[in-house]
Structure 1
Amino acid sequence: MPGSIYEFAQIPRVAPADARSRAPRGRRPRDTGKPPSIGVIYNPRSHRNLGADFDCGVSPQVYIAQPQARAQLPLALAEMAERGVDLLVINGGDGTVRDVLTCGQAIFGDDWPAIAVLPKGKTNALTVDLGVPDDWTLQAAIEALDHGGRVWRRPLSVAPAGSAPGEPAGRALGFVLGAGAFTKATQAGQSAHKLGAFNSVVVAVTGIWALLQSLFAGRSNPWRRGARMRIGLGANGVPMAHSGHGDPAMRQLLFASTLERLPAGIKAFGTLKSGLKLVAIDQIPRRTTALIPLALMGRLKGPLRDRGIHQLAATQFSLSIEEPFILDGEAFPAGDYRIEQGPELAFVTP
């Protein structure tokens, strides 16, 4: 986890001059015979980017931007919108995707181009869900625009409580949100990265470590203590039920996502697949903790809620939390938030 906290006040704003108006583009017809217009956001700091990903011999209409900071993203995306790109290629990991979607929402609104993601980061949960191979290239993504598939996903929209619904300013878009032990797991994942573990391997390594901590540590251990939080379901903020295990003001873990396939084959949401899903774990006893691997593989039967494991879908939920939480690998500050679904996006797949 980065040492700094992602402050909502620091989300780059789009000046009116940058958010150039344009008519809706609609969807590009396939097999037009005309080369598509391609925009590439290339993150040179992503783990697997070595500066050699620009080989593109078939389509000459490729515009590549290499913003060095988040503040430069809105201008790069506004220029791509003005060009009317048919395909927006995000070359980076989950954090790069989060930043592009967050900065692009005020520019594209509900009229995003098709998006392709090249899995170049330390974590690439989105591309696991999309079924994109690790060695997917820019040229292959361009060819897939006309000859590949489409997967539609809506990212999580995270906004401070009280902000206007749907207002782009001050909200972040991403695909994986977690708190409590999830925050500790993200920190452990950073250590695993330094040892050479990435993607699903990181999930396995940190998962085993978290399980051991929860099994053998005391209640005061951060892995078992979790975080003090309140979760309200739906537009009316109905309080989430509690099993009675541990402190009702605490949750050992919170995990939410709109992805349908998770790394390492994890089935954190049980049989739930589409839409906004979340799992919350109370301060469960050790004997229930030992069953967590079975729950993650979808093999634990019976009423999980009575055991302190809550799996559900929601149109939206509110979160009041007293510790930082994680959105796509980066820490966000404690506070009061509204989490719902963002715009529906079309992702190009092989």
Structure 2
Amino acid sequence: MPECRAMGGEAKGTGLRPRVALLSNPRSTGNLAQLPRIRAFCDAHPDLFHYEVEHSWQIGEAMATIAKIGPKLLVVNGGDGTVQAALTEMVSGDHFGGRAPPVAVLPSGKTNLIALDLGAAGDPVAALERLLAVAQGDLSPHTVERELIALTGGEGASRPVIGMFLGGAGLADIMLYCRNRIYPLGLPNGISHFLTAVAVIVRQVFGLHASFLPPAAKPLSIQMKSRGPIQGKFSLLMVTTLEKLLLSGDIGAHRAGQLKFVAVEEKPWSLIRAIAASLRGRLGRHQLDGVHIEEADEIEIDGDQSEVILDGESFRAGVGKPILLKRAAPLAFVKLAA
């Protein structure tokens, strides 16, 4: 029988083909406590093949092994960064010969934006049990197609990186501030995010500056084929293919397959209006001063030492080295009912 794998050990089995492959990152925040339960669950289910990686460079080998098994469903157990690395290998590595299985995501990271978009929330073991039950039958009623973002350019990007949510400008600074200054305090996620939100309000709405607050946004130039350049300082910049956004709203996608772009200028009232509209589910339905909302096939982000974060991994645009975002070929995902 297939057994749980730890850090890429040899697969064992009797010829029974696993219906589900599980790729885990033990270092993801949720896995620090939940991985023993997940391993025990794997031990009890012979149709589940478990492969663990501790470093992103191991994911290519993991995908090559999983492709040989030919699972009906691939489940990623990790944060958004782990999902991004797995998607990059699935699209760029061509391990599955153009026949990649549908992907599901367990809620095992800090933000879990991708898992949230796919209906996975709460206990990751319970979500895994539901996914295993779904894989016993026809997956098509639970399968949705998601467009992906391909990121190239910038400083040090060697091949296209695939993801679903990008934060830039002030938003990237806030995400890095939360990761580097707030998370190390060891507080629960909800409190960490609340403290970050308070710091953002103090910095951006009241205009206060201090070393313990997020840094000021840097000037950016954003190019899209559908319109002229957008230039300035932005408190928030998002590009996504997800239906659910960071502010618990949506931007009302009108054209299938487009990259959804939101940028809010660094003006206190512009940010407040954008947040209020998003919380009411009305962001993008009416024009707001200082708020730019577009849908595009390609987006170019140019700036001096400006950070962007694609599903947990940071990239930097440099002078003459803009970051280019394009639509990537879509993949199938399994979405659990809410």
TM-score (norm 2): 0.77
CA contact (8 A) 1:36 1:59 kept: no
1:57 Cα deviation (Å)?
6.8
Which fold has the larger relative contact order, with Cα–Cα distance below 8 Å and residues 6 or more apart in sequence?
A: 1
Q: Give the distance between the partners of 1:119 and 1:273, measured in 2 at CA.
A: 29
1:293 Cα deviation (Å)?
2.6
1:202 Cα deviation (Å)?
5.2
Can you list the C-alpha shifts for 1:215-262, whole angstroms capped at 9, x where unaligned?
11169999684222221113xx85334xxxxxx443333111110013
**1:188 partner amino acid:** Y
Q: Tell me which of 240, 243, 260 is aligned to 1:260.
A: 243
Q: 1:294 — aligned with what?
A: 276
Confirm whether residue 315 of structure 1 aligns to residue 297 of structure 2.
yes
**1:347 partner amino acid:** F
Q: Tell me which of 309, 325, 328 is aligned to 1:339.
A: 325
Q: Give the distance between the partners of 1:207 and 1:271, measured in 2 at CA.
A: 26
CA contact (8 A) 2:247 2:275 kept: no
Q: Give the distance between the partners of 1:202 and 1:270, measured in 2 at CA.
A: 29
**2:197 partner amino acid:** G
Q: Tell me which of 218, 223, 235 is aligned to 1:227.
A: 218
Confirm whether residue 108 of structure 1 aligns to residue 96 of structure 2.
yes
Moved more, 336-345 or 183-192: 183-192
Q: Tell me which of 204, 208, 216 is aligned to 1:214.
A: 204
Q: 1:90 — aligned with what?
A: 76
Q: 1:153 — aligned with what?
A: 146
1:92 Cα deviation (Å)?
0.9
Confirm whether residue 39 of structure 1 aligns to residue 39 of structure 2.
no
Q: 1:3 — aligned with what?
A: none
Q: 2:64 — aligned with what?
A: 78
Q: 1:174 — aligned with what?
A: 163
CA contact (8 A) 1:214 1:223 kept: no
Q: Tell me which of 293, 310, 313 is aligned to 1:327.
A: 310
CA contact (8 A) 1:223 1:252 kept: no
Q: Tell me which of 293, 303, 308 is aligned to 2:287.
A: 303
Q: Tell me which of 124, 144, 147 is aligned to 2:112.
A: 124
1:41 Cα deviation (Å)?
0.9
**1:53 partner amino acid:** I
Q: 1:28 — aligned with what?
A: none
CA contact (8 A) 1:44 1:51 kept: no
**1:154 partner amino acid:** E
Can you list the C-alpha shifts for 1:125-156, whole angstroms capped at 9, x where unaligned?
01111111322433321212226612221221
Alignment of 1:17-32 (within 5 A): none
Q: Give the distance between the partners of 1:255 and 1:195, measured in 2 at CA.
A: 27
Q: Give the distance between the partners of 2:63 and 2:229, measured in 1 at CA.
A: 39
Q: Give the distance between the partners of 1:230 and 1:262, measured in 2 at CA.
A: 23
Alignment of 1:193-208 (within 5 A): 193=183, 194-198=185-189, 203=193, 205-208=195-198
**1:293 partner amino acid:** I
Confirm whether residue 279 of structure 1 aligns to residue 268 of structure 2.
no
**1:213 partner amino acid:** R
Moved more, 211-220 or 47-56: 211-220
Q: 1:30 — aligned with what?
A: none
1:169 Cα deviation (Å)?
6.5
Moved more, 328-337 or 139-148: 139-148
Aligned pair count reads 299
TM-score (norm 1): 0.75
Q: Give the distance between the partners of 1:110 and 1:282, measured in 2 at CA.
A: 41
Over 3 Å counting, the alpha-carbon distance change for 1:154 and 1:109 in structure 2 is farther
Q: 1:184 — aligned with what?
A: 173
CA contact (8 A) 2:59 2:89 kept: yes
Can you list the C-alpha shifts for 1:3-31, whole angstroms capped at 9, x where unaligned?
xxxxxxxxxxxxxxxxxxxxxxxxxxxxx
1:110 Cα deviation (Å)?
4.0
Secondary structure of 2:329 counterpart = coil
Secondary structure of 2:75 counterpart = strand
Over 3 Å counting, the alpha-carbon distance change for 1:293 and 1:42 in structure 2 is same
Can you list the C-alpha shifts for 1:144-182, whole angstroms capped at 9, x where unaligned?
222661222122110127xxxxxx960111121111111
Q: 1:53 — aligned with what?
A: 38
**1:265 partner amino acid:** S
Secondary structure of 2:117 counterpart = helix
Secondary structure of 2:85 counterpart = helix
Q: 2:335 — aligned with what?
A: 349
1:196 Cα deviation (Å)?
2.4
Q: Give the distance between the partners of 2:215 and 2:294, measured in 1 at CA.
A: 22
Which structure 2 residue ranges, 5 or more long, are not aligned?
Answer: 1-15
Q: Give the distance between the partners of 2:59 and 2:143, measured in 1 at CA.
A: 25
